[in-house]
């Protein structure tokens, strides 16, 4: 016996075998969701707070229910390459987080993202179940479980938009496939997912529209190929189409309001007219190298590939060893193309439209991925990998498409084989789900130490009650974790604050200094600066010192001793360090390793010893333990010493 669902024949040799596969599918869904739930609950239990850029999501989510709700997304790094003030298209992520942030403050950010990712996984399972049945749900959950394992537990609740869009984008691909194959009910969900992903991160500017057009055209083609008596009634088509249109209108109401009614040029218009990078881009010649790095070459889209922050340094795409050769990239992508072509031929031979649509969508998405990679700008920070996070979702979707074709061919109508596939899939999902339960930071989440520091600082900020509006002066350190977190706490306490023009791009123009008069300055100082009050006086509102007085004295003694040691014996790199310097990986040493001597001032003052110790580039000798200890103390002092000073407006 066979039960046909949207063109895929599933074995149903007996009622009991169907029940076994169904229960296995339910188990895989539970297991796939389990790491998200565990990671979210664990981090909330530990008192997680958003720091760094993550705190911006708390600020803007808090603004949703105020007189100045966000109409567009955060500022985009595309502003650098286009030399235009550009933001991600819309604020749907802030809208989603608004209620949990109002109820649970910073913890609501993690909770909201955990719920979002859970819904995305459940949406994948529901869409596949409607189209292909429980056996293929197991395959989809296997691909999803591997993807969440690749991300690691700490990114399953991370609000940063390259990460928080990853599972929703994968869900969008599955929903687009099932809708294109003829499931009209999914149209409103397709519109919602497409709007959310496109609004949240600009890197989907080509992918999402193409997926949406493919889904709609695919559905119309499927509808035409159906017998008239099996088609959805025209009235139902119009009704669900109207619901989809309403969903789109509601999703885009805020960006359109910004475009046509807000002060200044609209963001959507700026994106359309300034979407082309004015600087160098990856280009069509090197785009295959970027895509193949994740899709077709080891370690593929699995966990080791997720840790690298940059694919290339600025201006070094063609020469960088971080990217594979063009020949290997093109060859492996061609092999993948042949595999997909063979799968499509098999689906066509079997007249299996559902798998045919799946493979066609996957091929189109891969082609658009190449085009998107080619258009990626090479800015000051080179080629940041976060711009390409969608490659991991595409890898999971491609893997599912190939597995689905193989399973369809191998299983046929054999119930025993179907149960074997279901059992193997259940084991695979269980393994990756269990592997993903321990805490795992893949090196791209904000530093954990910032959370503990901000808990202490937040508790002291009650002294700021009634002092606003405050002009917040942020630290000058790169990727500062404290400035946005302090502003988020000010917003939570309903203390008005203003910032300069550049920062207002992220926290809302209503907080621009010219829009509101400040009564005092709030200086946020980190590291050495936090130890000294501003020259204009004022009072210290909050202070966190990670070191005891004895540890600070020890750090000073070690610094002086190491300075003398470097002046006398110079900086001694081991073979690994010398090799790294020959590869130009340590350019900062050129300014301190002077002919005939070492200049220890810049080396210690700029704290360049830390990466040398971290990567084990120094010769091990009697000084090794003292250098290690000094670097440990200095890093804690630099990163975790924070002070807030309230000064007169002219006291900066």
- Please write the tens of the pLDDT for every residue from 279-296: 778 889 989 999 999 999
Cα 149 to Cα 176, 376, 432, 546, 567, distances in angstroms: 24, 27, 6, 33, 48
Q: Backbone phi, then psi, for 518, in 5-degree steps?
A: -90, 145
Give the pLDDT of residue 162.
94
Give the pLDDT of residue 377.
82
Task: Name the band, by pLDDT with cuts 50, 70 and 90, for residue 537.
Answer: confident
Average of per-residue pLDDT across 1-19: 45
Measured CA to CA, the distance from residue 293 to residue 115 in angstroms comes to 31
Average of per-residue pLDDT across 587-598: 69
Give the pLDDT of residue 320.
47
Measured CA to CA, the distance from residue 586 to residue 608 in angstroms comes to 10
pLDDT, mean over the chain: 89
Give the pLDDT of residue 1.
34
Task: Name the band, by pLDDT with cuts 50, 70 and 90, for residue 318.
Answer: very low
Measured CA to CA, the distance from residue 475 to residue 485 in angstroms comes to 12
Average of per-residue pLDDT across 77-89: 80
Task: Name the band, by pLDDT with cuts 50, 70 and 90, for residue 652.
Answer: low
Give the pLDDT of residue 50.
95
Average of per-residue pLDDT across 267-285: 81
Vertex 224 angle, CA 219 and 229, to 5°: 110
SS3 583: coil
Task: Name the band, by pLDDT with cuts 50, 70 and 90, for residue 82.
Answer: low
Measured CA to CA, the distance from residue 289 to residue 282 in angstroms comes to 10
Q: Which residues contact 543 (CB under 8 A, 6 or more apart)?
A: 460, 530, 642, 643, 644
Tell me the per-residue pLDDT of 391-407, one tens digit each, with 9 for 90 and over.
999 999 999 999 999 99
Residue 380 in this model has a pLDDT that exceeds 50: yes
User: Taking the domains of the chain in order of start, what are their residue ranges?
Assistant: 2-435, 447-652
Measured CA to CA, the distance from residue 480 to residue 478 in angstroms comes to 5
Task: Name the band, by pLDDT with cuts 50, 70 and 90, for residue 382.
Answer: low
- Rounded to the nearest angstrom, the gap between the alpha carbon of residue 406 and the centroid of all alpha carbons in its chain is 31
More confident of the two residues 517 and 539: 539
Give the pLDDT of residue 603.
76
Average of per-residue pLDDT across 257-266: 87
Give the pLDDT of residue 13.
37
- Asked if 363 and 347 count as a contact pair (C-beta separation under 8 A), the reply is no
More confident of the two residues 121 and 324: 121
Task: Name the band, by pLDDT with cuts 50, 70 and 90, for residue 597.
Answer: low
Average of per-residue pLDDT across 82-105: 93
Give the pLDDT of residue 232.
80
State the chain's maximal CA–CA distance in angstroms: 91
Q: Backbone phi, then psi, for 522, in 5-degree steps?
A: -115, 105
Q: Report yes or no on whether pTM surpasses 0.85.
A: yes
Measured CA to CA, the distance from residue 384 to residue 516 in angstroms comes to 36
Residue 589 in this model has a pLDDT that exceeds 60: yes
Give the pLDDT of residue 12.
37
- Rounded to the nearest angstrom, the gap between the alpha carbon of residue 304 and the centroid of all alpha carbons in its chain is 16
Residue 221 in this model has a pLDDT that exceeds 90: yes
Average of per-residue pLDDT across 527-538: 86
Q: Would residue 280 be called left, alpha or beta, if left means φ above 0 and alpha means ψ between -120 and 50 degrees?
A: beta
More confident of the two residues 569 and 236: 236
Task: Name the band, by pLDDT with cuts 50, 70 and 90, for residue 9.
Answer: very low
Q: Backbone phi, then psi, for 288, in 5-degree steps?
A: -60, -30
More confident of the two residues 619 and 385: 619
Residue 167 in this model has a pLDDT that exceeds 90: yes
Tell me the per-residue pLDDT of 47-65, one tens digit each, with 9 for 90 and over.
999 999 999 999 999 999 9
Buried b or exposed e, range 255-271, using 16+ CB within 10 angstroms: beebbeeeeeebbbebb
Give the pLDDT of residue 379.
63
Average of per-residue pLDDT across 304-324: 63
Give the pLDDT of residue 274.
76
Task: Name the band, by pLDDT with cuts 50, 70 and 90, for residue 478.
Answer: confident
Average of per-residue pLDDT across 113-124: 98
Give the pLDDT of residue 154.
94
Average of per-residue pLDDT across 456-463: 96
Give the pLDDT of residue 39.
97
């Amino acid at each position: 016996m066979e039960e046909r669902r949207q063109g895929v024949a599933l074995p149903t040799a007996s009622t009991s075998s169907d029940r076994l596969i169904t229960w296995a599918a339910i188990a895989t869904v539970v297991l796939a969701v389990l790491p998200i739930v565990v990671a979210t609950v664990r981090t909330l239990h530990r008192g997680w707070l958003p720091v760094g850029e993550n705190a911006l999501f708390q600020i803007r989510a808090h603004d949703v229910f105020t007189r100045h709700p966000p109409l567009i997304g955060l500022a985009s790094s595309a502003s650098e390459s286009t030399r235009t003030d550009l933001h991600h298209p819309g604020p749907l992520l802030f809208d989603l987080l608004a209620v949990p942030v109002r109820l649970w403050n910073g913890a609501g950010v993690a909770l909201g993202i955990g719920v979002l990712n859970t819904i995305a996984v459940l949406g994948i399972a529901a869409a596949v179940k409607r189209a292909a049945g429980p056996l293929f749900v197991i395959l989809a959950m296997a691909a999803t479980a591997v993807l969440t394992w690749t991300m690691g537990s700490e990114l399953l609740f991370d609000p940063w938009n390259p990460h928080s869009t990853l599972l929703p984008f994968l869900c969008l691909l599955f929903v687009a496939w099932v809708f294109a194959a003829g499931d009209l009910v999914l149209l409103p969900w397709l519109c919602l997912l497409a709007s959310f992903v496109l609004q949240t991160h600009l890197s989907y500017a080509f992918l999402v529209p193409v997926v949406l057009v493919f889904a709609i055209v695919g559905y119309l083609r499927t509808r035409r190929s159906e017998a008239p008596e099996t088609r959805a009634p025209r009235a139902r088509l119009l009704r669900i189409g109207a619901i989809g249109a309403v969903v789109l209108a509601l999703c885009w109401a805020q960006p359109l309001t910004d475009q046509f009614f807000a002060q200044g040029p609209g963001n959507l218009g700026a994106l359309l007219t300034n979407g082309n990078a004015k600087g160098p881009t990856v280009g069509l010649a090197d785009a295959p190298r970027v895509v193949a790095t994740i899709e077709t070459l080891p370690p593929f889209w699995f966990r080791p590939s997720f840790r690298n922050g940059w694919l290339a340094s600025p201006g070094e795409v063609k020469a960088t060893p971080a990217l594979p050769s063009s020949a290997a990239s093109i060859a492996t992508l061609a092999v993948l193309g042949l595999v997909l072509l063979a799968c499509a031929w098999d689906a066509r031979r079997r007249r299996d439209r559902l798998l045919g649509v799946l493979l066609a969508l996957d091929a189109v998405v891969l082609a658009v991925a190449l085009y998107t990679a080619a258009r990626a700008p090479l800015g000051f920070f080179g080629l940041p990998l976060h711009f390409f996070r969608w490659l991991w979702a595409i890898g999971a979707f491609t893997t599912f498409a190939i597995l689905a074709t193989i399973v369809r061919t191998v299983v046929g109508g054999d119930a025993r084989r179907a149960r074997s596939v279901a059992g193997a899939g259940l084991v695979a999902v269980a393994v990756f789900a269990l592997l993903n339960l321990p805490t795992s930071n893949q090196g791209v989440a904000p530093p954990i130490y910032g959370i503990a520091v901000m808990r202490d600082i937040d508790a002291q900020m009650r002294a700021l009650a009634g002092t606003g509006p405050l002009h917040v002066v942020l630290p000058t350190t790169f990727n500062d974790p404290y400035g946005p977190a302090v502003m988020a706490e000010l917003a939570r306490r309903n203390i008005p604050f203003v910032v300069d023009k550049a920062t207002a791009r992220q926290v809302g123009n209503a907080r621009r200094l010219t829009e509101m008069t400040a009564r005092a300055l709030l200086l946020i100082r980190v590291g050495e600066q936090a130890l000294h009050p501003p020259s204009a006086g004022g009072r210290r509102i909050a202070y966190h010192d990670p070191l005891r007085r004895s540890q600070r004295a020890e750090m000073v003694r070690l610094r002086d001793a190491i300075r003398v040691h470097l002046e006398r014996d110079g900086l001694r790199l081991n073979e690994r360090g010398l090799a790294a310097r020959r590869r130009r990986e340590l350019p900062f040493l050129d300014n301190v390793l002077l002919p005939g001597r070492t200049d220890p001032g810049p080396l210690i003052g700029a704290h360049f010893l830390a990466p040398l110790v971290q990567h084990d580039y120094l010769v091990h000798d009697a000084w090794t333990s003292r250098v290690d200890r000094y670097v440990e103390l200095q890093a804690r002092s630099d990163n975790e010493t924070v002070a807030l000073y309230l000064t007169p407006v002219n006291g900066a």
